[in-house]
Amino acid sequence: MSQTAQWTCLVYMAGDNNLEGAGRDDLAEMKQVGSTADVNVIVQFDMEENRTIRYRIEKNKLKAVQQLPGVDCGNPKVLTQFIRWGIENYPAQHYLLDVWNHGGGWENLPSDYDYDSIRLAKPRAAAKLNRLRRALFRTTVRKIHKRPAQARAIAIDCGSHDYLDNQELRRGVFNALPKGRKLDILGCDACLMNMLEIAYEMKGTANLMVGSEETEPGAGWPYAAILKWLVAKPMMSPADLAKTIVAEYGKYYQKTRETATQSALDLGQIQSAAAAVNELADVLLADLNNVAGAVGLARDRAQKFEMPEYIDLGDFAMQIARRLPQNAKAKAAADKILKALGAATGNGLVIRNVACGAKVQRATGVSIYFPHPEDYAPDYSDLAFSKDGRWKTFLEALFKV
């Protein structure tokens, strides 16, 4: 295609696992609306039967534009190739990349991970499963085998026994984009991905990020409702589309009464949020022996998700202010985090947030890693957030106390 559209939505659908049925359901939702001259809906769907199809979704039709042998969705080069192909063949003013699969935050899968365990359910039945622990993809088998047995990642590919870790996701996207260009929106239709650590890792690749703090119900994003808005208003800004995704997600799960979260993050604000976390870490480190008990209580009382070591950052800041009322520096640092997040106003890192269900009512849009000492994963040090900031230093000092 030579015509430049307003939007090209690239969906990287890693369906070689027990979510293949959910993938087919989502394709059916997408074709209720389909592409237009202004909006391209492009999907790369990797399936269990060792084949991959690239579709341009049209109204009531899945138009296959390319067929490939089964690909390794856990290889960042495969992600890079899909993005480059999509940009070259479907040029647009704006690009949304939707990484669709299981997800589980920043951590990596263990060396002995049982990939067959997430193939046990029949594909159609799997459409009703929670998208548990949808993570990124593995760097290499050899590298992962050296890592401790933690269980996280995104875009799990059972056929290839592979997945994308966070560094690979960043590299796969970064290498695909023209110099100086970022994605307008990075979407993660996957579980547990809207973490401060992941947002920080991806800050150089996208302007906005949309995803969930909690595990996602099996239905994932309500694609028909989202695309209906985009096709009707193709001139909408990236921020407006990101907010629309969150709003429609919230409406859908309020109707189904399932527990769900979704938020849109302005990655241009990530440095301010990270700086505020660094400031709190410094304040707590300076008086660690005296504040350790209150900090531990704040962690334990903060909003948690499917993985309890992932706690809501905004709620944790509020818990710190509540547990250390006489510590003016700690309270000021906590208030700075809340201001940087801006969840209540939409003027900070979190520009839109929804939380459906009593279990997640205190979710403010972004989580952070805060495990108990026995659950701490040493490869946390691999993240850019750990290398650039002081939260890792604070955690390790607290564990010693």
Task: List the domains of the chain with CATH numbers.
Answer: 5-268 (3.40.50.11970), 270-400 (no CATH)
**Do 24 and 123 contact (CB within 8 A), yes or no?**
yes
Determine the residue type at 350: V
Q: Phi, psi at residue 321, to the nearest 5°?
A: -60, -35
How many residues are listed for the chain in this entry?
A: 401
Q: CA-CA distance, 49 to 17, in Å (whole number)? A: 10
- What SS3 state is found at 93? strand
- Count Cβ neighbours within 10 Å for each residue of 233-257 and write b for 16 or more, e otherwise: ebebebbebbbbbbbbbbebbeeee
Instruction: Note whether 105 and 26 are within 8 A (CB).
Output: no
Q: Mind listing the pLDDT tens digit of every residue in the chain (401 residues)?
A: 458 999 999 999 886 665 677 788 999 999 999 999 999 999 999 887 788 999 999 999 999 999 998 877 778 899 999 999 999 999 999 999 999 875 555 555 545 444 444 433 333 333 333 434 333 332 333 333 343 333 345 544 444 444 677 888 999 999 999 988 999 999 998 888 999 999 999 999 999 999 999 988 888 899 999 999 999 999 999 999 999 999 999 999 999 999 999 999 999 999 999 999 999 999 999 999 999 999 999 999 999 998 899 999 999 999 999 999 999 999 999 999 999 999 888 899 999 999 999 999 999 999 999 999 999 988 899 999 999 999 999 999 999 98
Place of tokens 């900031």: 389
Three-state secondary-structure class, residue 75 = coil
pTM of the model: 0.87
Determine contact, residues 106/198, Cβ cutoff 8 Å: yes
Instruction: Find where tokens 């993938």 sit.
Output: 23
Say whether 305 sits in a helix, a strand or coil. Answer: coil
Sign of CA dihedral 124, 130, 132, 138: positive
